[in-house]
Amino acid sequence: MFKHFLFSIFLILISNVQASNKDKILENLQNTKNLNFDFEQNINGKVEIGNCTIQYPKKIFCKYQKNNKILVSNGKSLVIKTLTSFYRYPLNKTSLNLILDKNFLIQKIENLKEKKLGETFINFEIVEEENEINIFFDNENFDLVGWQTKDIYQNVNVTYLSSIKKNHKVDKDLFKLPAQN
């Protein structure tokens, strides 16, 4: 009886140690309310850098280092504003609609096979309607570290995240859409 008890404890410990990377990513996503990070974005060879805050679900504020460019979503609309331009899109017509929806990501990842990219990254490929999204997670702390999308014009957009901070207090006014000049 005692041997059976010890064997059962051993099996439980082994199964906990061997929790899959996918399970750890899903748990990490589930426990993330918001993210703040620096980013490097490459769209067809044009590189931009800046800082973003994501508040789940579907809110984002990004300030780019050049051109006073900002990108803001209030969960319904997406605005990209610079000194000389102003674009407003329905969020649900962009791939960010899916990337900013952690419940969607969790649901998709649960049913996808992970791909390990070397020792550094874990990748999941999501194809949803006209959107192709590759989501990347860190292989050690299981944080979201980037994504790659292809837009309707077949432009490839690769975004890398760094200096990631999770679950900090976020000013709700950050996600108010800017007015057009």
Residue 95, number of CB atoms within 10 A of its CB? 20
pLDDT band for position 150 (cuts 50, 70, 90): confident
- H or E stretch including 132? strand 131-138
Q: pLDDT tens, 44-57? A: 899 999 999 999 99
Confidence of residue 141 (pLDDT cuts 50, 70, 90): very high
Across all residues in the chain, what is the average pLDDT? 89
**Whether pLDDT at 13 is above 90:** no
Q: Label residue 21 by pLDDT band (50, 70, 90).
A: very high
* Local confidence band at 152 (pLDDT 50, 70, 90 cut-offs): low
**Residue 153 pLDDT class (50, 70, 90 cuts):** confident
Taking the CA atoms of the chain, what radius of gyration do you get in angstroms? 19
Query: Which pLDDT value is given to residue 10?
Result: 43
Q: Using one digit for the tens of pLDDT, what is the confidence trace for 76-115?
A: 999 999 999 999 999 999 999 999 999 999 999 999 999 9
Look at residue 93 and give its three-state secondary structure: helix
- The proportion of the chain whose per-residue pLDDT surpasses 70, expressed as a percent, equals 89
Domain boundaries, the chain: 21-168
Question: What local confidence, expressed as pLDDT, does residue 27 receive?
Answer: 97
Which one is the CATH code of 21-168: 1.10.10.10, 3.90.1170.50, 3.40.366.10, 2.50.20.10?
2.50.20.10
Is residue 110 exposed (0-12), middle (13-18) or buried (19+ Cβ within 10 Å)?
A: exposed
Query: What token pair was written down for 95?
Result: 């791939």
List the single range of 24-33, 68-77, 123-132 with lowest mean pLDDT: 123-132
How many Å apart are CA 26 and CA 45, to the nearest integer?
Answer: 32
- The pLDDT assigned to 176 comes to 96
* pLDDT of 8 over the 80 cut: no
**Residues sharing a CB contact under 8 Å with residue 108, sequence separation 6 or more, in sequence order:** 124, 126, 128
What mean pLDDT is predicted for residues 58-78?
A: 96
Choose among 51, 125, 122, 120: nearest CA to 95. Answer: 125
Residues 160 and 40: beta-carbon distance below 8 Å: yes
